[in-house]
Amino acid sequence: MNKTDLGVMTNIYLSLFQGMLFWPQVVKEEPVPEGKALEEKVEIVVSTVLGACARVS
pLDDT at position 1, please? Answer: 47
pLDDT tens-digit series, residues 11-51: 999 999 999 999 999 999 999 999 999 999 999 999 998 88
Residue 48: is it exposed, middle or buried by C-beta count within 10 angstroms (0-12/13-18/19+)? middle
CA separation for the pair 24, 54 (Å, rounded): 28
Strands, E assignment, 1-57: none
Residue 9 has pLDDT above 90, yes or no: no
What's this model's pTM, rounded to 2 decimal places?
Answer: 0.76
Residues 46 and 14 sit within 8 Å (Cβ to Cβ): no
pLDDT at position 57, please? Answer: 54
Residues 33 and 43 sit within 8 Å (Cβ to Cβ): no
